[in-house]
Protein backbone atom coordinates (compact mmCIF):
# COMPACT_ATOMS: atom_id res chain seq x y z
CA UNK A 1 0.00 0.00 0.00
CA UNK A 2 2.79 2.36 1.00
CA UNK A 3 4.56 1.54 -2.25
CA UNK A 4 1.39 2.27 -4.24
CA UNK A 5 1.03 5.64 -2.54
CA UNK A 6 4.68 6.36 -3.19
CA UNK A 7 4.33 5.42 -6.88
CA UNK A 8 1.12 7.44 -7.17
CA UNK A 9 2.72 10.52 -5.64
CA UNK A 10 5.65 10.08 -8.02
CA UNK A 11 3.29 9.91 -11.00
CA UNK A 12 1.66 13.13 -9.88
CA UNK A 13 5.04 14.77 -9.45
CA UNK A 14 6.03 13.52 -12.90
CA UNK A 15 3.61 16.00 -14.34
CA UNK A 16 4.91 18.80 -12.17
CA UNK A 17 8.65 18.58 -12.69
CA UNK A 18 10.78 17.93 -15.73
CA UNK A 19 13.19 15.27 -14.46
CA UNK A 20 16.09 16.99 -16.13
CA UNK A 21 18.70 15.37 -13.92
CA UNK A 22 17.20 11.88 -14.20
CA UNK A 23 17.19 12.24 -17.98
CA UNK A 24 20.80 13.45 -17.96
CA UNK A 25 21.81 10.36 -15.96
CA UNK A 26 19.89 8.07 -18.28
CA UNK A 27 21.63 9.64 -21.28
CA UNK A 28 25.08 9.17 -19.72
CA UNK A 29 24.66 5.73 -18.18
CA UNK A 30 21.47 4.14 -19.52
CA UNK A 31 20.12 3.92 -15.94
CA UNK A 32 16.48 4.90 -15.50
CA UNK A 33 16.18 6.02 -11.88
CA UNK A 34 12.48 6.71 -12.36
CA UNK A 35 11.98 2.95 -12.11
CA UNK A 36 12.91 3.07 -8.41
CA UNK A 37 9.86 2.30 -6.28
CA UNK A 38 11.50 3.39 -3.02
CA UNK A 39 11.27 -0.02 -1.40
CA UNK A 40 14.46 0.83 0.56
CA UNK A 41 15.91 -2.61 -0.05
CA UNK A 42 19.21 -1.09 -1.20
CA UNK A 43 19.63 1.05 1.91
CA UNK A 44 18.73 -1.77 4.26
CA UNK A 45 21.64 -3.88 3.00
CA UNK A 46 24.24 -1.21 2.21
CA UNK A 47 27.12 -1.64 4.70
CA UNK A 48 27.93 2.08 4.50
CA UNK A 49 24.42 3.54 4.63
CA UNK A 50 24.87 4.84 8.16
CA UNK A 51 27.96 6.84 7.24
CA UNK A 52 26.36 8.37 4.14
CA UNK A 53 24.50 11.66 4.32
CA UNK A 54 21.77 10.06 2.16
CA UNK A 55 21.36 6.29 1.91
CA UNK A 56 21.08 5.01 -1.69
CA UNK A 57 17.27 5.05 -1.94
CA UNK A 58 17.14 8.65 -0.68
CA UNK A 59 19.87 9.70 -3.08
CA UNK A 60 17.77 8.27 -5.91
CA UNK A 61 14.74 10.14 -4.61
CA UNK A 62 16.74 13.38 -4.69
CA UNK A 63 17.62 12.66 -8.33
CA UNK A 64 13.95 12.02 -9.11
CA UNK A 65 13.17 15.40 -7.59
CA UNK A 66 15.84 17.07 -9.70
CA UNK A 67 17.96 18.18 -6.72
CA UNK A 68 21.17 18.10 -8.75
CA UNK A 69 23.38 20.20 -6.47
CA UNK A 70 22.41 18.27 -3.36
CA UNK A 71 23.20 14.95 -5.03
CA UNK A 72 26.51 16.06 -6.51
CA UNK A 73 27.66 17.55 -3.20
CA UNK A 74 26.72 14.52 -1.13
CA UNK A 75 29.20 12.30 0.66
CA UNK A 76 27.19 9.26 -0.47
CA UNK A 77 28.63 9.18 -3.97
CA UNK A 78 32.16 9.07 -2.53
CA UNK A 79 31.52 6.61 0.30
CA UNK A 80 30.00 3.96 -1.97
CA UNK A 81 32.61 1.24 -2.48
CA UNK A 82 30.85 -0.43 -5.42
CA UNK A 83 30.25 -3.70 -3.58
CA UNK A 84 27.01 -4.43 -5.54
CA UNK A 85 25.18 -5.58 -2.39
CA UNK A 86 22.41 -3.08 -3.11
CA UNK A 87 22.04 -3.89 -6.82
CA UNK A 88 21.72 -7.60 -6.02
CA UNK A 89 18.80 -6.72 -3.77
CA UNK A 90 17.01 -4.28 -6.08
CA UNK A 91 13.66 -5.58 -7.42
CA UNK A 92 13.86 -3.03 -10.23
CA UNK A 93 17.38 -4.08 -11.28
CA UNK A 94 18.75 -0.58 -10.89
CA UNK A 95 22.53 -0.61 -11.32
CA UNK A 96 23.39 1.55 -8.32
CA UNK A 97 27.15 1.01 -8.69
CA UNK A 98 27.14 2.47 -12.21
CA UNK A 99 24.86 5.22 -11.01
CA UNK A 100 27.41 6.22 -8.33
CA UNK A 101 30.22 6.05 -10.92
CA UNK A 102 28.26 8.37 -13.20
CA UNK A 103 27.57 10.83 -10.40
CA UNK A 104 31.25 10.85 -9.39
CA UNK A 105 32.27 11.48 -12.99
CA UNK A 106 29.90 14.44 -13.26
CA UNK A 107 31.16 15.83 -9.93
CA UNK A 108 34.80 15.56 -11.07
CA UNK A 109 34.06 17.02 -14.49
CA UNK A 110 32.30 20.00 -12.93
CA UNK A 111 35.11 20.42 -10.37
CA UNK A 112 32.66 20.12 -7.51
CA UNK A 113 33.81 20.40 -3.93
CA UNK A 114 34.38 16.80 -2.82
CA UNK A 115 33.20 16.22 0.76
CA UNK A 116 35.50 13.19 1.11
CA UNK A 117 38.66 14.30 -0.76
CA UNK A 118 40.88 11.51 0.57
CA UNK A 119 38.43 8.98 -0.86
CA UNK A 120 39.02 10.37 -4.34
CA UNK A 121 42.74 9.75 -3.78
CA UNK A 122 41.93 6.22 -2.63
CA UNK A 123 39.94 5.61 -5.84
CA UNK A 124 42.92 6.88 -7.85
CA UNK A 125 45.32 4.58 -5.99
CA UNK A 126 43.08 1.56 -6.65
CA UNK A 127 42.74 2.39 -10.35
CA UNK A 128 46.47 2.96 -10.69
CA UNK A 129 47.16 -0.49 -9.22
CA UNK A 130 44.69 -2.12 -11.63
CA UNK A 131 46.31 -0.25 -14.51
CA UNK A 132 49.74 -1.55 -13.45
CA UNK A 133 48.89 -5.18 -12.80
CA UNK A 134 45.39 -5.88 -14.09
CA UNK A 135 44.28 -6.43 -10.50
CA UNK A 136 44.72 -4.78 -7.15
CA UNK A 137 47.87 -5.02 -5.08
CA UNK A 138 46.91 -3.94 -1.57
CA UNK A 139 50.38 -2.95 -0.37
CA UNK A 140 50.96 -0.79 -3.44
CA UNK A 141 47.52 0.81 -3.03
CA UNK A 142 48.30 1.59 0.59
CA UNK A 143 51.70 3.13 -0.21
CA UNK A 144 50.34 5.11 -3.17
CA UNK A 145 47.41 6.38 -1.09
CA UNK A 146 49.76 7.43 1.72
CA UNK A 147 52.01 9.31 -0.68
CA UNK A 148 49.01 11.12 -2.22
CA UNK A 149 47.47 12.13 1.12
CA UNK A 150 50.72 12.48 3.13
CA UNK A 151 49.00 10.71 6.01
CA UNK A 152 51.91 8.37 6.54
CA UNK A 153 51.18 7.25 10.08
CA UNK A 154 47.38 7.07 10.01
CA UNK A 155 46.38 3.37 10.14
CA UNK A 156 50.06 2.45 10.65
CA UNK A 157 49.20 -0.19 13.27
CA UNK A 158 46.51 -1.64 11.02
CA UNK A 159 49.06 -1.97 8.22
CA UNK A 160 51.48 -3.78 10.54
CA UNK A 161 48.70 -6.10 11.71
CA UNK A 162 47.76 -6.93 8.12
CA UNK A 163 51.39 -7.62 7.27
CA UNK A 164 51.83 -9.89 10.29
CA UNK A 165 48.71 -11.86 9.29
CA UNK A 166 49.90 -12.12 5.70
CA UNK A 167 47.00 -10.09 4.39
CA UNK A 168 49.40 -7.91 2.40
CA UNK A 169 51.40 -9.55 -0.38
CA UNK A 170 54.82 -7.96 -0.83
CA UNK A 171 54.82 -8.57 -4.58
CA UNK A 172 51.84 -8.06 -6.91
CA UNK A 173 50.21 -10.84 -8.89
CA UNK A 174 49.50 -9.93 -12.51
CA UNK A 175 46.87 -10.96 -15.04
CA UNK A 176 48.20 -12.86 -18.07
CA UNK A 177 47.53 -10.24 -20.69
CA UNK A 178 48.26 -7.04 -18.88
CA UNK A 179 48.86 -5.22 -22.17
CA UNK A 180 45.13 -5.30 -22.96
CA UNK A 181 44.32 -3.77 -19.58
CA UNK A 182 46.81 -0.98 -20.22
CA UNK A 183 45.21 -0.37 -23.64
CA UNK A 184 41.78 -0.06 -22.03
CA UNK A 185 43.17 2.52 -19.62
CA UNK A 186 44.96 4.38 -22.42
CA UNK A 187 41.72 4.61 -24.41
CA UNK A 188 39.74 5.76 -21.41
CA UNK A 189 42.33 8.50 -20.68
CA UNK A 190 41.94 9.66 -24.30
CA UNK A 191 38.16 9.84 -23.87
S1 LIG B 1 27.46 -0.57 -3.96
FE2 LIG B 1 27.59 1.32 -2.76
S3 LIG B 1 25.47 1.89 -2.30
FE4 LIG B 1 25.50 -0.26 -2.93
S5 LIG B 1 25.63 -1.45 -1.06
FE6 LIG B 1 27.73 -1.18 -1.81
S7 LIG B 1 28.45 0.68 -0.81
FE8 LIG B 1 26.22 0.66 -0.59
S1 LIG C 1 16.24 -1.45 -4.00
FE2 LIG C 1 15.94 -0.59 -6.06
S3 LIG C 1 13.80 -0.06 -6.17
FE4 LIG C 1 14.27 -0.37 -4.02
S5 LIG C 1 14.77 1.69 -3.26
FE6 LIG C 1 16.67 0.75 -3.88
S7 LIG C 1 16.98 1.39 -6.00
FE8 LIG C 1 14.84 1.76 -5.49
Pocket test for ligand 2, best of 3, 7, 38 (most atoms within 8 A of CB): 38
pLDDT digits (tens, 9 = 90+) for 22-64: 999 999 999 999 999 999 999 999 999 999 999 999 999 999 9
Q: Rounded to whole angstroms, how far apart are CA atoms 91 and 146?
A: 39
Q: Nearest ligand, CA of residue 61?
A: 2
For residue 75 and ligand 1, the question of a CB distance below 6 A is answered with no
Taking a C-beta distance cutoff of 8 angstroms, is the pair 25, 37 a contact?
no
80 lines ligand 1 (CB under 6 A): yes
How far apart are the CA of 79 and the centre of ligand 1, in A? 8
Same-domain check for residues 152 and 84: no
Ligand 2 site-directed mutation target among 40, 49, 99, 103, most atoms within 8 Å of CB: 40
67 C-alpha vs ligand 1 centroid, how far in Å? 21
pLDDT tens digits, 138-157: 889 988 998 888 888 887 88
User: Among residues 43, 45, 34, which one has the least CA distance to residue 7?
Assistant: 34
Judge if 145 and 181 occupy the same domain: yes
Q: For the whole model, what pTM was predicted?
A: 0.76
> Mind listing the pLDDT tens digit for each residue in 167-180?
778 888 888 888 89
**Cα three-residue angle 125-103-67, rounded to 5 degrees:** 145
Judgement on whether residues 85 and 136 belong to the same structural domain of the protein:
no
Domain boundary pick from 87, 109, 131: 109
> 138 and 58 in one domain?
no
Dist. CA 48–CA 69, nearest whole Å: 22
Provide the 10 A C-beta neighbour count for residue 47: 10
pLDDT tens readout for residues 100-149: 999 999 999 999 988 877 888 888 899 999 999 998 898 899 889 988 88
Radius of gyration of the CA atoms of the chain, in A: 19
Q: What is the 172 CA–ligand 1 centroid distance (Å)?
A: 27
Number of domains in the chain: 2
Residue-range definition of the domain harbouring residue 22: 2-109
Amino acid sequence: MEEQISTLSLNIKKKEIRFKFAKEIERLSGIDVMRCIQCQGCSSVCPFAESMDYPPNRLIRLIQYDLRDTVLSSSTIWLCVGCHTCSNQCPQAIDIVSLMDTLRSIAIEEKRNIPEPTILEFHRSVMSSIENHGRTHKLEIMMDYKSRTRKWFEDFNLGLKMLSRRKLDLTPSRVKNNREIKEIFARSWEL
